[in-house]
Amino acid sequence: MLDAIRLGPSDDATAVTATQLREVVTRLVHAGQWRPGDADILVVMDTGYDVTHLAYVLADLPVELVGRLRSDRVMLRDAGPRRSTPRGGQPRKHGGVLTFSKPESWHTPDQATTCDTTRYGTAQALAWDRMHPRLQARGPWLDHCGELPLIHGTLIRLNVAHLPGDRDPKPVWLWSWRTGMTGADVDLRWQAFLRRFDLEHTFRLFKQTLGWTVPKVRDPHTAELLDDPTLIARYRAAMDGQAVGRMVPSLPYIDTVPVDGGLRVRLTTTRAVLNVGEDAVTLSAVGAVYEFAREAEAVLRPLVDGRTMDLAALADTAGLVLEDVVGLVQELVAGQAAVVGSLL
C-alpha cells in the first residue's frame, strides 16, 4: 500500500504519484515479488490521475498503467505509415478523432468481448488499439524539452447491464499503455478495474464505518488484534447486540407474564445475536446480554429468527415445562427485549 502524502500548495499531484509508484515498485523488486520474466505489475487508477504522463515517466519500470478517463475526452488514431505528398511538408502525427460521447466518430474496434458477471450482469467491452491523446505544453508537460511524444495505448469502453442496487450504469472508458491486446487481455484490464473499485469501497468501510483511522497503533500486539480475520464478524455481532429494539409495550403484561400457553411472544429487535456454548447460551439484544441454561436454545432460536411463537409451542419444542418458558420470557420482557400478547 502506498504511503499517504498530504499535498502542499506547490506540489504537483502527478509528480508526487510518479514518485510514490516508483518507490513501491522498487521495493517490490528488491523484495523478490517481481523478477525478470514475470508479467508487468498492473497498476489501476481512477480518474484524476494523468495516466498518460505517468506511463511516460515510468516507462523504465516493469509496470502497466490502466486508468479511467472522463467521458468527455477524445482520443486520436494512429496516423499510419508516413507517406510523402506532392506539396511536401511535415507528415501527419495524428489520425482520425474518436470522441467518447459521439458514437458516430468511433471506427471499428479491434477487439469486442462479452461475458457474464455475478454483480454487474452482462459486460460488453470494445477496444481500439494504438490510440493516443493530443498532448499540449501545459500541466506536467510544461517543462518538457523537445517535441511532445506520441504515447500509444489501448482504449477500452466497458458497459455493464446494471450496478448493485439496480442503478443505471454509465459506460466506463479505460486506457492502458499496452498495445496489441487480445480479447482476453482486454477482459483482464477491465476486470482489474472493477476489482480496484471493490477494494476502494472496502477501505472506505474500514475508515468510515469501522473507524480504523481513529486508533493510534503503537504496539505490534495491537496491530495483530486488528489483523484478526474474525474482527469484522465480531464487530457486527457486537453492533447487532446493541441495536435498539422497537419499543412496544407488553400491555397488559408489564410486570408479570401469566402462565398461559396461548400467549404469543416475539423479540422487539431483529438484530439479536444468540451464542451457544457447551453449558450455556447467551442472548445479546437491545444492549443487554442474557445468559440461560443450554436447554434454552430451543426456546430462543425461533425468536432470534424473527418468528412470533405461542408459549405452549415453545415449551413443547424445547421439552420444558411451561412455567420455565414463562420465566425466561418474563426476563426478556423486563429488559424490553421481548413483548407478549394474545393478538401478536
Over the stretch 231-289, which tens digit does the pLDDT of each residue have? 777 777 777 666 665 656 666 777 788 899 999 999 888 788 898 988 899 998 888 88
Whole-angstrom distance, CA of residue 320 vs CA of residue 316: 7
* Mean predicted confidence (pLDDT) in 64-77: 95
pTM for the model: 0.59
Of residues 291, 288, 318, 321, the one with CA closest to residue 302: 318
How many helices (DSSP H) and strands (DSSP E) are in the chain? 8, 14
- Mean pLDDT rounded to a whole number for the chain: 86
Degrees, nearest 5: CA angle 55-70-59: 0
Percent of the chain with pLDDT over 70: 88
Is residue 188's pLDDT more than 90?
Answer: yes
Tell me the domains of the chain and their CATH numbers: 13-77+95-209 (3.90.350.10), 215-344 (3.40.366.30)
Is residue 1's pLDDT more than 50?
Answer: no
What pLDDT does 180 receive?
A: 95
* Mean predicted confidence (pLDDT) in 126-138: 92
* DSSP designation for 103: G
Q: What is the DSSP pairing of strand 63-69 with strand 41-45?
A: parallel
Q: Please count the residues of the chain.
A: 344
Of residues 185, 165, 169, 167, the one with CA closest to residue 177: 185
Encode pLDDT of 287-313 as tens digits: 888 999 999 999 999 998 888 999 999
Q: What three-state secondary structure class fits 96?
A: strand
- Residue 201 cell numbers, joined: 469501497
- Residue 291 cell numbers, joined: 445468559
Q: At 203, which amino acid appears? A: F
* Mean predicted confidence (pLDDT) in 59-77: 95
The owner of cell 454509465 is: 170
> Which residues on adjacent β-strands are paired with residue 99?
74
* DSSP designation for 205: I
What pLDDT does 197 receive?
A: 76
Whole-angstrom distance, CA of residue 132 vs CA of residue 127: 13
Confidence of residue 169 (pLDDT cuts 50, 70, 90): confident
Is residue 176's pLDDT more than 60?
Answer: yes
- In 10 A of CB 61, how many CB atoms? 19
What pLDDT does 281 receive?
A: 92
Encode pLDDT of 35-55 as tens digits: 999 999 999 998 888 999 999
Is residue 194's pLDDT more than 50?
Answer: yes
